[in-house]
Amino acid sequence: MLSFVMHAIRMPGRIGAVAGVTFTQLVRMRTFVVLAIFALGFLGLQFIPYQENLGVEYQGLGELQLIRDVATGCMKLFSMLFCVAATALLLPRDSEDRILYTILSKPVPRFDYLAGKALGVLGVLGVMLLVMDGLMAGLLHLRGVEIMRQLQEVLAARNLSEQEMLPYMQQVEEASNAVTLQWNLLASFMGYAVLTTLTLVISCFTSGTLVSMVFAFGGYFIGMFREQLFSLIRSTAGWDGVPSVGLQWTERVFSLVLPDFSLFNLAENAGTIVEIPVRLVGELGLIAFGYMLLHLLLGAWILSHKEF
């Protein structure tokens, strides 16, 4: 009992040490170059010619919505690529550099090692998302202020009162407010945290980085379109009613290992701002934590039975 308590007390320190080394390792691999690409892409958004068929009182809304959509899309794409690529590199590189043997020969449990690796990747990803989110919020604010100034001049030329201008100004203010996107980005981060631990599990039994990346991307896209995939299989096999026992068990196994990644995509609905309940984000957090814990336990079991 005492040894178990001491093990639990020392676990955060071991995980933190591995996470710190992983964070430094990824920084040295110049993974932050993606931020430079993202920043250059943002600068280019300001020079895109926007064409709108709406009246002048709605000018700028399409531009702001395009910035929001492109920015969040780029952040999600870069995050997915980073999670898979960076995580798939870790175990093979540690094995090549003989670091893995040194760590596992010491009293460092496999679970703590994998948890530290996942935490290090998520630490780098969190910093990258914060910087990219700040760039997006800054650009939206600057463009929003400029659009509101131009819109005010147009409406004033039409002799509209301040009360009559208010609805149009509020629309621009809402479109330039990045606060409404934060729950969306947080949910996406949870999904990529699950993708990170899933990639770690795959790296535990595959033989190379490229193979791990292929399987991880495959698992992600299967998870994204899991319901559509099973619906297609049922319709192809002619099971319009209750599916067979074999298919039911296959669905359960996939559901146990692969989450429905589409749950973490809290996208805006047709350009309108949607209020996302805090309770929903909390539920997604519990789902993500459960899958991450399952993946880490499975990966630790695979490592304990693997010969290096």
For residue 103, being part of any structural domain is answered with yes
pLDDT computed for residue 53 by the predictor: 43
pLDDT at 126: 92
Mean of all residue pLDDT scores within the chain: 78
Q: Identity (one letter) of the amino acid at 161?
A: S
Query: Is the predicted pLDDT of residue 67 greater than 60, yes or no?
Result: yes
Average pLDDT over residues 264-292: 74
Instruction: Give one DSSP letter per residue of the chain, joined into a string.
Output: -HHHHHHHHHHHHHHHHHHHHHHHHHHHTTTTHHHHHHHHHHHHHTTSPP---S-GGGTTHHHHHHHHHHHHHHHHHHHHHHHHHHHHHHHHHHHHTTHHHHHHHSS--HHHHHHHHHHHHHHHHHHHHHHHHHHHHHHHHHHHHHHHHHHHHHHHHTT--HHHHHHHHHHHHHHT-GGGGHHHHHHHHHHHHHHHHHHHHHHHH-SSHHHHHHHHHHHHHHHHTHHHHHHHHHHHHT--SSPPHHHHHHHHHHHHHS--GGGG----BTTB--PPPHHHHHHHHHHHHHHHHHHHHHHHHHHHT---
For residue 78, being part of any structural domain is answered with yes
User: CB–CB of 256/158 below 8 Å?
Assistant: no
Q: Where does the pLDDT of residue 268 fall: very low under 50, low under 70, confident under 90, or very high at 90 and above?
A: very low
**Is 59 part of a structural domain of the chain?**
yes
Q: What is the pLDDT of residue 115?
A: 93
Separation between Cα atoms, residue 124 and residue 32, nearest integer Å: 9
| 197-243 per-position pLDDT tens digit | 999 999 988 878 888 899 999 889 888 887 777 777 667 655 555 55
> Looking at residue 39, what is its pLDDT?
61
- % of the chain beyond a pLDDT of 90: 16
Q: What is the mean pLDDT of residues 98-113?
A: 76
Of all residues in the chain, what percent carry a pLDDT higher than 70?
77
Residue 2 lies in a domain: no
Domain count, the chain: 1
Residue 120 confidence (pLDDT): 93
- Asked if residue 278 is part of any domain, the answer here is yes
pLDDT above 50 (res 272): no
Question: Per the structure block, which two tokens stand in for 277?
Answer: 């309940």
Residue 200 lies in a domain: yes
As given in the structure block, the two tokens for residue 238 are 């002619």
Q: Is residue 3 part of a domain?
A: no
Q: State which residues form the domain around 99.
A: 8-304
